[in-house]
Structure formats: structure tokens, C-alpha cells
Copies of this chain bind each other. A is one copy, B any other.
Amino acid sequence: MEALPALSVPVTIYDIAREANVGIGTVSRVFNNHPSVSEETRRRVLTVAAHFNYHPHPYARGLARKRTNAFLAVIPFFTTFFFLEILHGVQSALADGETDLLLHGVSHPDHAEPSLRRVSSRGRFDGILYFSMRLPDDFVQEVKQLKVPLVLVDAYHPDFDSFSVENVVGARQATAHLHALGHRRIGMLAANLESLPARERLSGYRQGLEEAGIAYDASIVLSSTSPRLDGFTRETGYELMGRFIAMGSRRPSAVFVSSDVQAAGALMAVQDAGLRCPEDFAIIGFDDIALAGHIGLTTMRQPLVEMGRLAVQRLNERLATPDLPITQHSFVPELVVRRSCGSGSPSAPELTTTQLTYSHA
């Protein structure tokens, strides 16, 4: 074996082959765990490779194999906390170290075109994870034509695998929780009803009321008209909560807020009015993003990390077996009790969320 390689010159499969006295084909086989290589040869090649710190060039490999070992994640950046958790799950599922993650943040849910461009450049990734956004029609066309596997998370389309959450059921449960706590005048603070999740959560709320034998009272159901992020913002929460507060004696004693971000705004409004939760208002949110833990918000948990993990897994399965039947998986949210509704739970910053959410076990 000769001297150490000139460090600046990238070492290729040819260098290894030469030094190990084999053909490049053999080196390749070794690095692809091809069975038909004698144990001795394999060891020799591996030794030389280690000595030269050789690593197969991913692009050359990708070109020859017609496979990139990379996934593209298309994510709406505005949902910050939200997607962060999902991404966590994605990463942990990718932990084999074999697959890379390409991130493409979209600033507005309706502006997915740049991603479309990314998509059309076939050859950059083997599959796509698409989060929380409407699927533009041309995107669908492009993807289908390119035959790139696509898995949806927190979104739905009949032609693709998806993982989402039962908004209706979750909202119903949230309402039921409020009812179980003794509340009879339960209001709802909704997002912009143009958005499907917003409508679904409203619908679940109504079902919850019905099951509780409480009549629907439109005067304590406030919804946002803001087009910005479909009203899923702290500002709408603050503003609408202000209106509840202004109702005086006619105000609800408990409010189901359609998202944690809005609930954060609502909590601020309550505080600013010199009132308190849960004493003056019981408030329950939806999502269980990390923020909820920070502000002690009772909420409905979406298994975000799990969804991210499963999505990756599904992508891998579909890559292995392209004509698997399409699967639509939907999760039932789970109640997470903190202090904003005043159950008997301790109010210290419990670690439940964090542990469950970030566990990589």
C-alpha cells in the first residue's frame, strides 16, 4: 500500500480498486453489500477504503442507480411550532442515516408553486412529504406524471396516502371535557370558516353540545374573518376573546378555541382584562404544540411526531412496493389536561408533552 493519498484529491472507486488489486466492480459490490464477494476480498477492500477515508459519491451513485436516497419535505413555514414537531418525527424515522431530508419551506399556503418547480426537477429526491396545505391541481398532475411517491400529512387527497387528524371528533371531545367540568354555557372561538379544519372543528363543537344536551347559541360562537393564515393566529384569538369578555354577564364560562395559537391570544386578552383562567374563563385549545405546555393550556393533542414518523415509513413502503393500495390514516386527538380549564391537575410545568413529543425511543 502506498503513502497516504494527497488529501485534496478526492478518492474514487478507482483508487480503492487499484490499491486493493481488484476491479472497480468488486469495490462497488463491497459497498453495496452484494453477497458474491469473498470474505477475504471484502475485508481487503474495506481496509483500503477505510485507510483512504473513501466514501461513495452520492451523486454518482444516484445517477447510476436512478435513486437519490433523499426525501423532499414541503412545509408551510408559518405553522412554526406545529411543523417543528412533525419534523422531529420525520428525522427520527430517517435516523438510519441513509436518507437525506430536503427541506422546502413555503411562506404561504397558497404559494406552493416554487415547490412545484422543485418537484419537476425529477432526480433530486425519491419521495415527497407534503404538509398541511391544499394540494394545487397542477402539483397533483405533476407528481402523478413524474410518479414520485407523495405522502400527505395533515392534509387530504383521494389519490395519495395521508395522515391526518379527526378534527370533528377532537372538537367534540374538547367540548365534552368542558361540559364534564360543569360548564353549561360553552362558547367557541373559531378560525376563518373558509378553511376546512375550521369548519370541522366547529362541527365537532356542535356535536359535542348536542350530546351534552345543550342548545346551540350562535351568540357565543365567534369566528375570524381574517384571510391571514385562515385566522389561525394569536391576533384573532386576542380580538375575539375580547368580544367575549365584553359580553358581561352573557358571556360563556368556557370557550373551546380552535387552535393553540389562537388560545394563546385569548389567554392574553383575559389577562389584559384583569381576569383569569380558569377562574373567570375555562379555555381549551387544539393541537398541543409546544407552546401549549409553556402557557399551561389544556388542549387536544395531535400526535404530530408520530405522524411525521409514520409518513416517512409509509413513503419507504411505497418506494419498496409502488402499487400498494392507498391508505388514509386519521388519528383521534387526545385530551391533555393542563391548567387553563382548571381541572384538579397540578399546574407545575409537567413534562408530559415534552417527553411524549420528543421521545426518540
Q: Which chain A residues have a beta carbon within 8 Å of chain B's beta carbons? A: 7-8, 10, 53, 55-60, 62-63, 68, 70, 73, 77-78, 80-81, 84, 87-88, 91-92, 95, 97, 100-105, 107, 114, 117-118, 120-124, 145, 147, 234-235, 238, 261, 264-265, 268, 271-272, 290-291, 293-296, 347-349, 351, 358, 360
Contact B107 A360 (CB under 8 A): yes
Contact B351 A235 (CB under 8 A): yes
Contact A234 B294 (CB under 8 A): yes
| B residues in contact with A56, CB < 8 Å | 121
Chain B residue with minimal CB distance to A290? B80
Given A57-B123, A104-B101, also A264-B234 (CB < 8 A)? no
User: In the assembly, what is the distance between CA of A215 and CA of B103, in Å?
Assistant: 50
| B residues in contact with A235, CB < 8 Å | 349, 351
* Integer count of this chain's copies in the complex: 2
User: In the assembly, what is the distance between CA of A100 and CA of B81, in Å?
Assistant: 22
Chain B residue with minimal CB distance to A142? B53
6 contacts between A and B (CB under 8 A): A8-B147, A81-B290, A91-B103, A238-B348, A261-B294, A272-B348
| B residues in contact with A63, CB < 8 Å | 57, 59-60, 63
Contact A58 B120 (CB under 8 A): no
| B residues in contact with A293, CB < 8 Å | 234
User: In the assembly, what is the distance between CA of A78 and CA of B354, in Å?
Assistant: 10
Given A8-B147, A349-B238, A351-B235, also A121-B55 (CB < 8 A)? yes
Contact A122 B291 (CB under 8 A): no
Chain B residue with minimal CB distance to A346? B272
| B residues in contact with A124, CB < 8 Å | 58-59, 100
| B residues in contact with A97, CB < 8 Å | 114, 117-118
User: In the assembly, what is the distance between CA of A53 and CA of B142, in Å?
Assistant: 10
| B residues in contact with A78, CB < 8 Å | 358
Residue in A53, A97, A103, A118 whose Cβ sees the most chain B Cβ within 10 Å: A103
| B residues in contact with A104, CB < 8 Å | 100-101
Contact B103 A103 (CB under 8 A): yes
Chain B residue with minimal CB distance to A80? B84
Q: Which 4 pairs show the lowest CB-CB distances between chains A and B?
A: A264-B294, A57-B123, A91-B105, A59-B62
Contact B10 A122 (CB under 8 A): yes
Contact B68 A91 (CB under 8 A): no
User: In the assembly, what is the distance between CA of A25 and CA of B147, in Å?
Assistant: 29
Residue in A73, A124, A264 whose Cβ sees the most chain B Cβ within 10 Å: A124
